Amino acid sequence: MKAHYKKHILEFKRPSGTSRGVLRTKETWYIIIQDAGKTGIGECGILRGLSYDDVPGYEEKLQWVCAHISKGPQALWDELMEYPSIQAGVEMAFLSLASSDPFVLFPSSFTKGTSAIDINGLVWMGDEDFMRTQVAEKLEQGFDCIKMKIGAIDFKDEVAILSSIRKNYNKEQLTLRVDANGGFAFAKAKEVLAQLAELDIHSIEQPIATKQWKEMADLCASTPTPIALDEELIGATNLASKQELLETIKPQYIILKPSFIGGFKGSQEWIDVADSLGIEWWVTSALESNIGLNAIAQWTQKIGAKGPQGLGTGSLFTNNIPSPLEVVNGTLRTDKYKYWDFKI
């Protein structure tokens, strides 16, 4: 068994704004395993300044993994607790290697092209005109769930955009989610949550910055707008810490990004804890290329995730890996007449 990795810089079609700044490129690495004439492919993707394993020596750890690939998926996963994105990539690669088709990790009606996954349309931050344009595009494309990034422009302008949507679409017709990426101060957050509730907002992701468990628990206990934890999950690498976090904060939802939280195995641990506490969840990509997005989408279908998922990011890049994945009428599906174009 041999393994190597390849780095790929994904380039955004247009700069994409969050409360943490504007994204123009995104680094990712592919782990490729070859054994007995078969090939497996996985993706290790990080977001600078956010991923737990955005640390010096990341590529050296990838080199170590390739040199020790014969240890197998479980032993490597155990030894990579401080590198959740590499855990995810290695897990994908071994699943790919074991499959008769390296791009079909979890065979299903989704991989056959006979079913689709409901997804949300993503509206990035920018000036008010840009955000309104994006909303119009998503509605025209058939999305019945829209997630809007908030916290970059004046909140009253963001409320005005959301209000204009609600005038034309009630909550039964259109689900509205917002994502603050930790952009609000605790003192402001309660006011924000109250205003969002008046607009029948489904949920807000990460209203305040991470590591404020007491304040976040206070918000979750009294909020009129359901709260979803996202960045808060990053860095909780063992089962005990996951249990403690959710028991302490008691959010309404958690959001699972396998590349941030230890792949499918790490995500399943979060699901098990959340289910035991009555906390709901959904799955979101972390701006992976189509290699990782494909694997995450197949896993999402396999576990029976409910409601719109955050898996519509494949079209963001100018140089994504050509694949059968496509977004049609607010869903992600596999076009069985299209093929992968990945150069090993």
Q: How far apart are CA 171 and CA 87, in angstroms?
A: 38
Q: Is 6 a catalytic residue?
A: no
CA 134 to chain centre: 20
Active-site hit among 6, 257, 338, 343: 257
Cβ atoms within 10 A of the Cβ of 140, count?
Answer: 9
131: left (phi over 0), alpha (psi -120 to 50) or beta: alpha
Cβ atoms within 10 A of the Cβ of 234, count?
Answer: 18
Furthest CA-CA distance within the chain: 60
Are 108 and 296 in contact by the 8 Å Cβ rule? The answer is no
Q: Is 138 a catalytic residue?
A: no
Q: How far apart are CA 66 and CA 43, in angstroms?
A: 13
Active-site hit among 2, 149, 171, 211: 149
Q: How far apart are CA 148 and CA 145, in angstroms?
A: 10
Looking at the annotation, which residues are catalytic?
Answer: 149, 257
